[in-house]
Amino acid sequence: MKKWILLLGLLLASLPALSAQRLKDIANIGGVRPNQLIGYGLVVGLDGSGDKVTSSPFTGQAMINMLNQLGVQVPPGTKIDPKNVAAVSLTATLPAFAKRGQAIDVTASSIGDAKSLRGGTLLLSPLKGADGQIYAMAQGNVVVGGAGASAGGSSTQINQLSVGRIPSGATVEREVQTALGDGEFIHLELQEADFTTANRAVQAINKIFGADTARAVDGRLIEVRAPFDSNQRVQFLSRMENIAVDPADVSPLVIINARTGSIVMNQAVTLSSCAVSHGNLSVTVTNTPQVSQPNPLSGGKTTVTNQADIVINSTGGKVVGLKGGANLSQVVNALNALGATPQDLISILQAMKSAGSLKADLQII
């Protein structure tokens, strides 16, 4: 772990300063966005690994409805409990400019108690958008990346068996109109709001297409004057999205995942002069049962007592001094010199931030 953290710090410290990036890499065209789709369906053809109707009654209900729609009349009160059927939720992403007949991928996730979707086939199911309208129809064979087997009360499993993909499993049936701008203007939306980056983007666009072509509305939105003709507008956007822009310098940031102990620092993190001491204190408490047995014919009772032993071990902590303006590699080297674990690093960085020596924003997720 220590070697890995040290290598990560040296690698990040050796990275050059941010270079110019294409405008398409730091901004999006307003209105050009994907849409999420969701649906419900049945996966059939499973090898006895499907839902149990007793615990997943909606699977039996869905089967009865499907059979009725296909002209098969199920007598009232008939118990349907096939073990080769599983109810699944379907999710897909409808990309921008998707046209009718275009194929998109679908993810099928079990919502019952099915043990596996491996080898199953999804029956024709609608995919709806947030407005409740049907935008695609899904059907196809489910591909599961995991594997598993069980016998004699023992089982083994690799990866997930209750989630699978259907490549190109849905066909778009309804289009979402995407307008490239409003009237003579289109809008650029920076992925990260920053006044400096917005100003530099405006200057770069105006340098290529002429003054007053672009203007910044705020730190994220840029308004750009574009041709009315659709073909000319596409050509204009093609040229504009490849313009090189120097983004603003990143702000120093330290992100800590308190649940996993992961710590990520960018290369802008520095320290002011400080001294850090790190030591370990361990307390061990052990209980030793002791039995008191009375003499024969004495009439006494056997009693059990506990003898507690407490041992305290204190390891002397090292004191490491850091000069002002220390960069990321020096920070990582110093923390590793202390022999700190990821959990120790969290406490040390929080203490540095409280003392005012850590020149970075500290985010705990």
Answer yes or no: are the C-beta atoms of 74 and 64 closer than 8 Å.
Answer: yes
**Residue 86: what pLDDT?**
93
Question: Which of 25-34, 233-242, 256-265, 281-290 is the least confident region?
Answer: 281-290
Q: What is the mean pLDDT of residues 178-207?
A: 88
pLDDT tens, 237-265? 999 999 999 988 888 888 888 777 777 88
Q: How far is CA 134 from the centre of its chain?
A: 28
Q: How many CB atoms lie within 10 A of CB 31?
A: 15
pLDDT tens, 300-355? 677 766 565 655 455 555 555 555 556 656 666 666 666 667 777 777 778 878 88
**Residue 355: what pLDDT?**
80
Answer yes or no: are the C-beta atoms of 340 and 348 closer than 8 Å.
Answer: yes
Question: Which of 32-36, 94-98, 263-267, 335-339 is the least confident region?
Answer: 335-339
**Residue 190: what pLDDT?**
93
DSSP 114: -
d(CA 25, CA 245): 10
Q: What is the mean pLDDT of residues 56-77?
A: 85
Across 59-68, 78-87, 231-240, the highest mean pLDDT is recorded for 231-240
Q: What is the mean pLDDT of residues 39-66?
A: 88
Q: Does pLDDT of 27 surpass 70? A: yes
Residue among 288, 191, 180 at smallest CA distance from 245: 191
Give all strands (DSSP E) within 30-176, no chain letters. 35-44, 85-94, 103-110, 121-128, 134-141, 147-151, 154-158, 163-172
Across 69-78, 102-111, 248-257, the highest mean pLDDT is recorded for 102-111
d(CA 20, CA 88): 46
d(CA 226, CA 183): 9
Q: How far is CA 242 from the centre of its chain?
A: 29
Using the Cα atoms of residue 43, residue 44, residue 48 and residue 52 in order, give the sign of their dihedral.
Answer: positive
Q: How many CB atoms lie within 10 A of CB 14?
A: 10
**Residue 149: what pLDDT?**
57
Q: What is the mean pLDDT of residues 184-201?
A: 92
d(CA 274, CA 257): 24
φ, ψ (nearest 5 deg) of residue 4? -65, -45
Q: How far is CA 161 from the centre of its chain?
A: 20
**Residue 157: what pLDDT?**
60
Q: Share the mean pLDDT of the chain.
A: 80
